[in-house]
Structure 1
Amino acid sequence: MSDIIQLLPDHVANQIAAGEVVQRPASVVKELLENAIDAGATNIKLLLKDAGKTLIQVIDDGKGMSVTDARMCFERHATSKIQKAEDLFNLNTKGFRGEALASIAAIAHVELKTKIDTEELGTSIKIEGSKIITQDFINTAKGTSLAVKNLFYNIPARRNFLKSDTVETRHIIDEFQRVALAHSNITFLLHHNNNEVYHLKSSNLRKRIVAIFGTKMNEKLVPINEQTDIIVIEGFVAKPEFAKRKRGEQFFFVNNRFIKSSYLNHAVVNAFDGLLEQGTHPSYFLYLTVPANTIDINIHPTKTEIKFDNEKALYAILRATVKHSLGQYNVAPVLDFNRDANLDTPYHIQKNVAKTTVPTISVDPNFNPFKEDNQKTHHYKKEHQTQSWESLYTDISIADIENKQEDLFNNQQEISTQKTFQIQRKYIMSLIKSGVVLINQSLAHQRILYEEFLESITVKEANSQQLLFPVKISFSSQEIEMIYTIKTELENAGFSFDEFTKDSVTIKGIPVSVTESKITIILEELLNDIDLEVPDASFSHFDVMAKSFAKTLSIKTGTQLSEKEQESLVNDLFSCKEPAVSPFGKQTFKTLTLQEIDNLFNS
């Protein structure tokens, strides 16, 4: 039998490793930004073209690389961060495994320009698919410029799996924000297709958060600060009244590295217990500093998940810290057993002596509750007198009894002729000849609204109601950009815009089916849905929009419906083109035949 196990060529091994390290353009952005930070840069510029598919370039003013280092950095497992395995458990840098640049160079055209301060000339290297094409000395500024062009050019299958430019840009901005929030002392610039998206100057944490998420964010923030032997917690949480229906503005940083932790998130949410509306999520920007040897950050390829040695203690401290700050800044009620000046005795009555006069009590020794005369002469006011217990029966006439019976009969007749019934404010039961139909009121209304919105957006001319006073809504700069890219579709749906600024949009008209109080919620939900997926086809843009509107505006579970509203919902549902499923593929109703009902009792 011939041997079948063989070593993979280096370029194939690098492409396989790239599949783990580079999932999309945002992965490249994260690696290059972190390398620039590790190089000690104080100014970092990120240039993008076509959502990073054509170009991703990071330019920094860090310490740069020597000729040998410039060549070595593209080798697999080449790193300056660790020398022995134990170093993995005492890391204070971003990149450390030495896979990123080798993986990127295997699936793109890469051009590196770098220079250290002590050298007169820098180094330029061009690589295509792991192969070094040229290496020259050049005149360049101190620091490093690394351009990644034509990502996945030699793996077309992987390139085809990339989403639309809008979605990929959003992922890049997410990574950019995480790095920028972790390092407020560094100046960051982001340009996309020659347009400036961010210019974040070196500042403190609060100013950095406001610069990224808009000026309105400043009034929302509650400071967090706690120092213990095992952890230091700093940062901000947003006030409960500004909680959102999406989880976007939730950031944990451990030793200046962004992480995801459902466990720590639960601690924060628990601290907001009783302060949030149902279905909303708090915003927070929390920075945790722990000893490097108490965490393991190499358990996940993207290094966004880490393992703590004493996570239960961290949970308790984090929850208590957030809860304390909410109380300290009068955001949440708090019990304080220290003296409160507001409860002191007012000055003008401090010297007053309490009266010691004992109130007199008058007793009628001849009172007998069983004597009718006593009831009439009792000192209670006449309108509050209690009739004798016999009157409870003697006052009811035969005519009253007959009237009650007639009312009960009429009610039974009404119930027997009613076509629909609401069950637990969630389901509607409708009678049919063959049995009954159980309808999920929320899912059914989603289907009705979805088809109505889709028709009004794509077929009919949408009706718009003009607002008496235009509504100005604040968003982050990237959300404003996203709204602007779908402005035409929103106008087709019935929205009318007056003005766009860097962090706000003014709306002067809305669809007739939308109330003014719902505008912010609808747009936030829409942006969240678009953030998750925006197909390239323009019709699919309308489809995502119709689904988002239907989900946000539909009748929710727990809503009481009148009989007329129930019947209207049933009729509208079965007038739809596809009444059996919601816009998201869930079953809207279930039919139970008489035979199926009989089987429930015969089994």
Structure 2
Amino acid sequence: MGRIRVLSDQVANQIAAGEVVDRPASVVKELLENAIDAGANRIRIEVEAGGRKLIRIGDDGHGMNRDDALLAFERHATSKLRTADELLSIATLGFRGEALPSIASVARVSLDTATGEEPSGTHLEIAGGKIHHVDDAALPRGTTISVSDLFFNTPARRKFLRAESTELSHVTALVTHYALAHPEKHFELLSASHTLVSAPPVNRPAERIYHIFGKDTLAQLLPVAAETQLDRSGLPEPPPWKRDPDEPARIPGWLRLSGFYSKPELQKLNRNSIYIFVNKRLIRDRLMLHAISEAYRNIIPPTSYPVVLLFLEMPPEEVDVNVHPAKTEVRFRQQSLIHDFVRDSLRNALIAARPVAGFRAALESSAAATPSLIPVPGSRLPGSPDEPPTLGDPDSPSAAEAEPFRLTSKPLPPIPGKLPFGEQDLAAGLKQQTLLEAAATLLEPPVASRDSCSSDPLPPPAEAAAQIEAEQAATTLNRLGSLRPMGQLRDSFILAAGEDGLWIIDQHVAHERVLFEKILRDRKVEHVQRQRLLMPLLVELKPWQMVVFAQIADELERNGFEVEPFGPQTLAVKAAPVGLEGASLERMLNQVIDQSSEAEKEPSLSEDLTALRTRIAASIACHSAIKINTPLDPKRMEWLLLELAKTEHPTSCPHGRPIALLYSWKDIQRAFHRI
């Protein structure tokens, strides 16, 4: 008898379930995508015991007739794909036809569906992949699927599930993601008869962010929008019966970007707060993460990450979503163009916005020292030391370890003196902190964006979002040049008065930003100013440092250095950029060499000539800038403020430290109880 045999459909479906379904959140993801593809405007999700006991998702989509309901549980049965050519232009969230049979093979499934055009709907029950009951039923238009006893017939898989609170946090984070991507739809998530997420339809993404996360979160984000034309010449010609005779062979296609990005003052320790949606599909992509990091280069520290919510829209044939069973990884046809477009759009938005940092926001940002543990498919780089838990990682840390925060959708009446959801509110016995962390995906630490003890009515999302946008537009760094210096604080910080409040400027990092941008401009036109030293400065290096120096010597020369080897482990510096001398010059060289060595140890897409150039410019600027504890006369302070106002990024120094903080007039009035 031969060794090779054909697996039964039941075993094949359970193997497929291992790729598609690995935890309750995976089931919710597949069923949510089906509901969205069905044109649903209202989606209700109910879970019990974190999804282990029950997952029920109901929608008001177009539903199915009896025959379609039976076929939907056959493997590779789908209404969204007919030919192999259509794989090149997937316009729906689901298309494989594996989700329902895979789920049904490892759980007990009940389906109620109706099209609204037939006299009755269909009720169907499946357990372990076998149909047990099919009957007609009086049902409204739409579909409701109940999945109970997940992995009841695969106990080895069931034991790898995490605690109920952890599984619930994954489900809540996932529903929040889809609510952000589809603001025009109504999402509702309930657990143990309590509402965790309630997101009614709104007109704009800003209103959805306000409704879910609150006013303070939205106030920390700035909008971005851009578009460009794609090169479509490489795509195959459509058949003659589909081609417009007046249309050229080069079919135009647009790449559009919209969303929100955080001010430089808001910094995170990992990529958990970066969300990327391509055609409303949540993805993870190294290319996009790198483009975002490049946009914030020399604006925030290299070890910090921004909060970004980006929506990319492009023709379906420009992105291949058929590269991963969970459909969270994609490939772009024009990778370089999309990368540069995202990077430049964010960078230009930062230059135009010139956001100012307030005292309270800066303090809250500096306190954000714990990474988020919420799973975000689309925010990890495989193998990175800070990669967050994902929906498919059963060994990821429990969400119960994360710090608490407030859920701002306000589904229940608040309890004075307690967080909106206390332990006594949860029949399932969830800890107070673990449930609340489930919906936090943009900001940590806790942000009391809506005072749960306040009796003041909340403004409508549209009105609140418009008010926040108006305040952001009015508060920028464009007025730096009109500030009136009043003096120095301990010869280190400039105090200045403006129409919008009291300003404190760090004189060292302000001058550092001015010098940094000047060095880059001079380097670009090959007009770097250098000064010759009276006596060559001898710098002792270690053998490995000499190797690194040889690799960056050409770029150092183009930045104003004249350095020659002077023995096996010694360099003779004969000329240096203006402003560098003595010990500062030696420290600068050692710093650049050490940083270049560290960059080589950690291979990254960002390590290129531009990275080396900005690293050298930042180091020169840091060691040449005005130091703290340096008295400045009024004219010198005025000159520094005027020069800072001319820079592209007066928000932070090249190493990411804030330059200026504003104590706004409104905050001053509030502190003195004037308002």
Q: TM-score normalised to the size of structure 1?
A: 0.56
What CA distance in whole angstroms lies between the structure 1 residues aligned with 2:447 and 2:49?
Answer: 23
What CA distance in whole angstroms lies between the structure 2 residues aligned with 1:265 and 1:181?
Answer: 19
* Amino acid paired to 2:116: D
Q: Which residue of 2 aligns with 1:85?
A: 84
Post-superposition offset of 1:219: 0.6
SS of residue matched to 1:241: coil
SS of residue matched to 1:232: strand
Post-superposition offset of 1:245: 2.6
Q: Is the Cα contact below 8 Å between 2:41 and 2:61 reproduced in 1?
A: yes
Q: Is the Cα contact below 8 Å between 2:211 and 2:409 reproduced in 1?
A: no
Decide which of 299, 304, 320 is 1:280's aligned counterpart: 304
Query: Does 1:125 find its partner at 2:124?
Result: yes
Q: Is the Cα contact below 8 Å between 1:64 and 1:116 reproduced in 2?
A: yes
What CA distance in whole angstroms lies between the structure 1 residues aligned with 2:406 and 2:266?
Answer: 13
Q: Which residue of 1 aligns with 2:627?
A: none
Post-superposition offset of 1:276: 1.7
Q: Which residue of 2 aligns with 1:70?
A: 69
User: Quick check: which has more Rg, 1 or 2?
Assistant: 1
Q: Which residue of 2 aligns with 1:153?
A: 152
Post-superposition offset of 1:476: 4.3
SS of residue matched to 2:271: coil
Q: TM-score normalised to the size of structure 2?
A: 0.50
What CA distance in whole angstroms lies between the structure 2 residues aligned with 1:48 and 1:116?
Answer: 25
What CA distance in whole angstroms lies between the structure 2 residues aligned with 1:265 and 1:483?
Answer: 36
Q: How does 1:201-280 map to 2 (within 5 A)?
A: 201-203=200-202, 204-230=204-230, 231-277=255-301, 279-280=303-304
Distance 1:501 1:238, change over 3 A: closer
Q: How many equivalent pairs are there?
A: 357
* Amino acid paired to 1:323: R
Q: How does 1:31-180 map to 2 (within 5 A)?
A: 31-180=30-179
Q: Which residue of 2 aligns with 1:319?
A: 343
Distance 1:181 1:488, change over 3 A: closer
What CA distance in whole angstroms lies between the structure 2 residues aligned with 1:263 and 1:147?
Answer: 37
Q: How does 1:466-485 map to 2 (within 5 A)?
A: 475-477=406-408
Post-superposition offset of 1:174: 2.1
Q: Which residue of 2 aligns with 1:444?
A: none
Q: Is the Cα contact below 8 Å between 2:43 and 2:188 reproduced in 1?
A: yes
Q: Which residue of 2 aligns with 1:303?
A: 327
Post-superposition offset of 1:178: 1.8
Post-superposition offset of 1:482: 9.0
* Amino acid paired to 1:250: I
Q: Is the Cα contact below 8 Å between 2:217 and 2:449 reproduced in 1?
A: no
SS of residue matched to 2:265: helix
* Amino acid paired to 1:92: A
Q: Is the Cα contact below 8 Å between 1:225 and 1:233 reproduced in 2?
A: yes
Q: Is the Cα contact below 8 Å between 1:474 and 1:503 reproduced in 2?
A: no
Post-superposition offset of 1:279: 3.5
* Amino acid paired to 1:207: E
What CA distance in whole angstroms lies between the structure 1 residues aligned with 2:447 and 2:183?
Answer: 27
SS of residue matched to 1:228: strand
What CA distance in whole angstroms lies between the structure 1 residues aligned with 2:222 and 2:343?
Answer: 15
What CA distance in whole angstroms lies between the structure 1 residues aligned with 2:311 and 2:343?
Answer: 14
Q: Is the Cα contact below 8 Å between 1:183 and 1:256 reproduced in 2?
A: yes
What CA distance in whole angstroms lies between the structure 2 residues aligned with 1:325 and 1:307?
Answer: 26
Gaps of 5+ in 1: 334-472, 490-498, 507-603
What is the CA RMSD across the aligned residues, in angstroms?
2.6
* Amino acid paired to 2:180: L
Distance 1:103 1:246, change over 3 A: same
Q: Is the Cα contact below 8 Å between 1:252 and 1:260 reproduced in 2?
A: yes
Q: How does 1:202-601 map to 2 (within 5 A)?
A: 202-203=201-202, 204-230=204-230, 231-277=255-301, 279-331=303-355, 475-477=406-408, 486=431
SS of residue matched to 2:226: strand
Post-superposition offset of 1:129: 0.5
Percent sequence identity over aligned pairs: 37
Distance 1:260 1:500, change over 3 A: closer
User: C-alpha offsets along residues 346-404 of structure 1, whole Å, 9 cap, x if unaligned?
Assistant: xxxxxxxxxxxxxxxxxxxxxxxxxxxxxxxxxxxxxxxxxxxxxxxxxxxxxxxxxxx
What CA distance in whole angstroms lies between the structure 2 residues aligned with 1:280 and 1:476?
Answer: 25
Distance 1:18 1:481, change over 3 A: farther
What CA distance in whole angstroms lies between the structure 1 residues aligned with 2:344 and 2:355?
Answer: 15
What CA distance in whole angstroms lies between the structure 1 residues aligned with 2:76 and 2:409?
Answer: 36
Q: Is the Cα contact below 8 Å between 2:122 and 2:134 reproduced in 1?
A: yes
* Amino acid paired to 2:338: L
* Amino acid paired to 2:140: A
Does 1 or 2 have the higher relative contact order (CA < 8 Å, sep 6+)? 2
Distance 1:318 1:160, change over 3 A: same
